[in-house]
Amino acid sequence: MQETTAIGLNFIGGEWKASSGGKIYEVRNPADQRSVVGIYQSSDELDTMAAIEAAKKAFKMWASTPAPKRAEIVFEAWSILKKRAEEFSLAITTEEGKPLPDARGEVKRSLNVLEFIAGEGRRLGGDVIPSELPKTLIYTYKRPLGVVAVITPWNFPLSIPVWKIAPALVSGNTVVFKPASCTPGVAIKICKLFEEAGLPPGVLNMVTGPGGSVGRALVESADVKGVSFTGSTETGRWIYENSSKGMKKVQCEMGGKNAVVIADDADLDLAVEGVVQGAFGSSGQRCTATSRVVVDRAVKGEFLERLLDRTEKLKVGPGTEPGVDVGPLSSVNQMEKVLWYISDAISEGAKLLTGGKRVTDKGLEHGLYVEPTVFDEVSPNMRIAREEIFGPVLSVLSGEGIEELIGISNDSDYGLSGSIYTRNIEKAMRYIDQAEAGMLHVNCPTLGGEAQAPFGGIKGSGIGQREQGRKAVEFFTEEVVVYIDYTGSKRDAKFI
């Protein structure tokens, strides 16, 4: 395999710079570990502080730019991305590993977000509130926070940064962006996208490298006024706890252990398609992926028969190869983690129905492939039923009646997304009323969301204000209330 020698740089104050310590690291193609995708900066606290200082210097200018003008740059980024959609899709697949159709879907989602958020520049208003006093005007407006940190994961290296960065910019903030260590190439393309769209120097800055140095410096800096994070619950908890010490505004979208409920009257063909898509699409590396199925025992046998037949027909291979359903895991560490969970499930007594091994034949021995895996006879207390795996592994649990099925699905520390398959509207509405998740689906997979709708979860899956939709700008702004007395004379004041 031919290896690239291109070295990616940090983006600080509108300039592309090497790390102060001179350290670099390699990112290899998850579909073939013999291929080096790129070489990037392993940055430290000094680099991070330089990026924060650049963002701080640019803030006053950017905040004073009218919101519609800020939004024009975001919309120009939309225009450029639309023209270069296939280029970005291929970059995502090469670096992260997901099949090209999934990468194209990620680009489409990013375009939708940019388009919607650009419109917020003309909707970034407040309220006029009636006063109990004559000749008094009360109104509100949204003020940007200042310098904000955006810390993102590797599984959606384009869309998650975009749905954080775009509303932050439209709201008038300046940004320090810390992408996941294993997908810095897509992050660099994002910065170049906004640079080409006309974003002034220092408004968006990016530092690549380990979370232990870069992420910690962002959280602990007094100049960073808000932190928007997507990643593990463990890291999110640390960010939330430590950011609170500096009175920062914090938004964390974290893990999931999403369950699909299969009622006894479900359309099983529809349910199987939704479960397979949710469990094995993007190799299960989605926070909204289907990790558990809670099926009524009355239809369990028939459901499993159809599920296994569909799962075993999935094609595993490089994301650039036509017809591939399941690509590689994103990194060696992620593959080893998934294989460990599979081994642990077997030792705990779960019944392996299909998959369970690394793929080392069919010319895939140099990639990070794990077979689509289904376990039956999983109990709610097993680790495989409770902890986020982030791989192509599905656990099947069972119960009787809609109340028990909902109860089992709610027995989780997480609460991001959930789904039910039923033909009965009463069962569907009971599920909607009782399910402990921030996003619920009826007769469709646990995946998805739209740019104009809020995104996020409850319990261990999320804390802080929701992302996306019109809620997006709420996190990146503070509301200011203004009282104007235009009597021109002294009068008795009323105080509360």
pLDDT number for residue 490:
85
pLDDT number for residue 4:
44
**265-313 pLDDT per residue, tens:** 999 999 999 999 999 999 999 999 999 999 999 999 999 999 999 999 9
What's the whole-number mean pLDDT along residues 45-61?
98
The confidence band for 494, taking pLDDT boundaries of 50, 70 and 90, is low
How far, in Å, CA of 479 to CA of 14, rounded?
Answer: 30
The confidence band for 45, taking pLDDT boundaries of 50, 70 and 90, is very high
How far, in Å, CA of 160 to CA of 389, rounded?
Answer: 20
pLDDT number for residue 5:
53
Please give the single-letter amino acid code of residue 117.
I
- For residue 491, pLDDT over 90 is answered with no
Mean pLDDT, the chain, integer? 95
Which is catalytic among the residues 76, 287, 388, 474? 287
Q: CA angle 31-365-316, nearest 5°? A: 60
pLDDT number for residue 3:
45
**317-372 pLDDT per residue, tens:** 999 999 999 999 999 999 999 999 999 999 999 999 999 999 998 899 999 999 99
**389-440 pLDDT per residue, tens:** 999 999 999 999 999 999 999 999 999 999 999 999 999 999 999 999 999 9
Q: What DSSP designation does 478 have?
A: E
**139-182 pLDDT per residue, tens:** 999 999 999 999 999 999 999 999 999 999 999 999 999 999 99
Number of H helices and E strands in the chain, helices first, is 15, 22
CA torsion sign for 189, 191, 192, 198 is positive
H helical segments located in 175-316: 184-197, 216-220, 233-245, 268-280, 297-311
Q: What DSSP designation does 367 have?
A: S
Which is catalytic among the residues 106, 120, 253, 467? 253
Percentage, residues of the chain above pLDDT 70: 98
CA 413 vs CA 155, 437, 461: distances in Å: 22, 10, 8
The structural domains of the chain, ordered by start, are 10-254+461-481 (3.40.605.10), 258-442 (3.40.309.10)
Structure tokens at 51: 């990026």
Asked about 252 being catalytic, the answer comes back as no
pLDDT number for residue 2:
42
pLDDT number for residue 1:
38
- For residue 496, pLDDT over 70 is answered with no
- For residue 98, pLDDT over 90 is answered with yes
- C-beta pairs of 21-29 under 8 Å, 24+ apart in sequence: 21/46, 21/47, 25/181, 27/95, 27/182, 27/183, 27/184, 27/185, 29/94, 29/95, 29/97
Asked about 287 being catalytic, the answer comes back as yes
Percentage, residues of the chain above pLDDT 90: 95
